[in-house]
Amino acid sequence: MNAPTKKLRVATTSLAGCFGCHMSFLDIDERLLELVQLVEFDRSPLTDIKHCGPCDIGIIEGGLCNAENVHVLREFRANCKILIAIGACAINGGLPAQRNHLSLSAILEEVYHAQHGLVDGFIPNDPELPLPLDKVHPIHEVVKVDYFIPGCPPSADAIWKVLTDLLAGKEPELGHGLIHYD
């Protein structure tokens, strides 16, 4: 029997995303068993670890819509040797960025004050709440991103291809059928 090789440490998170990319990641199904032979998880919705420690690979779903997203992203970048943006929102802002042509104050006003049926509405200002950013941004506008897996969400096969290419020490390549923006 071969000596066990050191497992690569992987962290994942969803910022301004819907967890759809994480769901698609889980869609690799029984290949998860193969994957956990090769990797162990650090911070991730799968482990409930709250802060990212030193990792080989960090996977970021979602863009940046508030200050906390930026803090988490910077923590990932500081700790991960390879950072991967997964899904449309991390790559170009995606659905949350549809608010970008409206002013933030107008949106908060509409949602918490003016909308029909609201009684005594007020804009939440609890100090625990992260401040929203003026605009939603893709993550490569704030930190260096090493690889991108586009898609909404990317297919399980696309995610598997990138991860297995990386684990094999190759440049990830998707090609027709796996590269999708929709």
Partner 1 sequence: MSQSNTFTLDGKTIPYSEGQTIIQAAMAAGEYIPHLCFNPEFKPHGSCKLCTVKANGRQTASCTQHPAPDMVVESDTKEINDERRTLLQMLFVEGNHFCPSCEKSGNCQLQATAYQLNMMSPHFDQFFPDRPLDASHPDYLLDFNRCILCSLCVRASRDVDGKNVFALSGRGIKSHLIVNAKSGRLADTNFSGDDKAAHVCPVGVILKKRVGFAIPIGSRSFDEQPISATPHPQGACPVGPRSNAATLPPHPTVKDA
When the beta carbons of 38 and 152 are compared against partner 1, the nearer one is: 152
Closest CA relative to residue 58, chosen from 137, 163, 129: 163
Q: Retrieve residue 42's tokens.
A: 């650090």
Q: How many angstroms separate the CA atoms of 78 and 41, rounded?
A: 17
- Please give the residue ranges that form the binding site for partner 1 (CB under 8 A): 85, 88, 91-95, 97-98, 100-101, 135, 137-138, 140-141, 145, 147-150, 152, 173-176, 179-182
- The residues, any chain, with a CB within 8 Å of residue 55's CB and separated by 6 or more, are 9, 10, 11, 42, 79, 80, 81
Smallest separation (angstroms) from partner 1 to the CB of 7:
27
When the beta carbons of 9 and 15 are compared against partner 1, the nearer one is: 15
Question: Chain-centre distance of CA 137, in angstroms?
Answer: 13
Smallest separation (angstroms) from partner 1 to the CB of 15:
16
Smallest separation (angstroms) from partner 1 to the CB of 138:
7
When the beta carbons of 58 and 94 are compared against partner 1, the nearer one is: 94
When the beta carbons of 43 and 135 are compared against partner 1, the nearer one is: 135
Amino acid (1-letter code) at residue 83: L
Q: How many angstroms separate the CA atoms of 61 and 160, rounded?
A: 15
Smallest separation (angstroms) from partner 1 to the CB of 119:
32
When the beta carbons of 68 and 141 are compared against partner 1, the nearer one is: 141
Smallest separation (angstroms) from partner 1 to the CB of 27:
15
Q: How many angstroms separate the CA atoms of 47 and 160, rounded?
A: 20
